[in-house]
Amino acid sequence: MASSAHASDNGTECTLKGALAGESLNGQVRIQSNQTSLNVAVRIRKATNGSPHIDVQECSIDKTTSHVVTHIDMLSASDTAAIQVQLMRSAPDVVESILCAYVEWIVNLRSRAGNLFLDYSILTDPLTDSYGIEFNSSGEVSVDGKGGTPFGSAPMELPPLGNLTKMFQIVISDFVPNSLMHHGHKTGLFNTRVDPTTPQLGPVMRTTCGFTSGPLFCLGDLLPTLRHFHPNRGIAMIFRSAQPPVVIFREGRQGAFFAMNGHIAVWAIDDRGVEKKVGEMGIEIEAYMKFRISGAILKAKLSLEKIHLKSLNSEALQQDELDDAGLLGREIIQRIVNDVLKDGVPIPIHPLFRLRKTKIALMDRACVIVTDFQLSSKTIRQLVSRRRAT
């Protein structure tokens, strides 16, 4: 049974634990092939809301290709040569299972955000007065647009227009980002990984650093016990949300309140790229968010106020060191969370409108957007052609 695996240009490296032909196995194996042909068949079908949905129908490798076991480190195997013969027979199946699992992971990852849809359907009859037209839109973000968010919006209303000359005034409840957070958590949208290949943060994701090893500061300085047990290793941190993050819009300069609870798995990476899980920790975050508008997307930048890291039965992650790391490693954690939020929240407005000269302000439980707009000629042509067709 392969408990972990890493595929690279140098081959496939696995950590195996179990039994093979009666022999107890517990160690590392490297399998190489000069020519591995991967055959993948995907199905693209129309979802209920008309969006494309992609899934993997078939995945296999050409098992006639020769695979070579170039490294074997079985800690409890009594006859390495005999074990190698058995592994040679099993190598194609092992490589296939690893590569196909990776393909499915990529397809699923790309589909998560694409399966979340904004419902901008009108909830009530439009109201008209001397100022223009007022209407209420749903604003719910859900998987495939099917709804199912277990909470609703706080009461809200349009603020007085005053001397406002903008063409459009939009009030967005914090129900919109929280419905995204709810369904994003359920689909794993916020799960992320930071490792030595991550831009900007990559150089510090190591246990040992100094004049001869690259950066002068790294994670090993924050977590000396981790460095002691796993010196000269790269570090990967894999984050997943433990429950849906929460966003509460508040009036004032600080911005919206944000809270997130999650789980971080810590892996040590040796020089061959083999990864070993070395610890786990819980993370609790409270922060404030400032917003900006990019097109029809509401994007946020987070400023951390509180970080609490909790060691979860891990000898390499000492609680007193995590307490200090929560303060000293603020920028690393802040970068991870901002990476989670980088896609932003869609503004619940029909694609017929293109926003221009947009401004945003926060009020309690909602934000106000004032803007001019242009009508999309492409969308108008589509609407007219549909009308003529009927």
Give the pLDDT score at 312.
Answer: 94
Helix ranges (DSSP H) in 188-233: 219-222, 224-229
Residues 204 and 337 in one domain: yes
Express each pLDDT in 284-305 by its tens digit: 999 998 888 887 788 888 888 8
Query: What 3-state DSSP class applies to 334?
Result: helix
Q: What is the pLDDT at residue 5?
A: 47
Domain boundary residue, one of 82, 114, 146: 114
Pair (243, 104) in one structural domain: no
Q: Is the C-alpha dihedral spanning 310, 313, 315, 316 positive or negative?
A: negative
Is residue 196 located within the same domain as residue 325? yes
For 25, residues 6+ apart whose C-beta sits below 8 A from its C-beta are: 16, 17, 18, 19, 74, 76, 77, 83
- Domain with 107 in it: 2-114
Last residue of a domain, one of 48, 79, 114: 114
Predicted confidence (pLDDT) at residue 252 exceeds the cutoff of 50: yes
CB 304, CB 318: distance < 8 Å: no
Indicate if 106 and 178 belong to the same structural domain: no
* Residue (of 234, 316, 238) closest to 268 by Cα position: 234
Quick one: pLDDT at residue 366? Answer: 92
State the average pLDDT for the chain.
Answer: 79
* End residue of a domain, out of 87, 114, 141: 114
Q: Is residue 162 part of a domain?
A: no
Q: How confident is the model at residue 17 (pLDDT cuts 50, 70, 90)?
A: low
pLDDT, position 49: 46
Select the more confidently predicted residue: 50 or 153.
153
Q: Does one domain contain both 220 and 297? A: yes
Beta pairing partners, 117: 142
| pLDDT at 67 exceeding the cut of 70 | no
Kindly report the CATH number assigned to the domain that includes residue 203: 3.15.20.10
Total domains present in the chain: 2
Split at pLDDT 50, 70, 90, the class of 1 is very low
pLDDT in tens, 19-55: 666 666 666 667 777 677 778 887 766 555 444 456 7
Q: Which residues lie closer than 8 Å to 68 by C-beta, 6 or more apart?
A: 31, 32, 33, 88
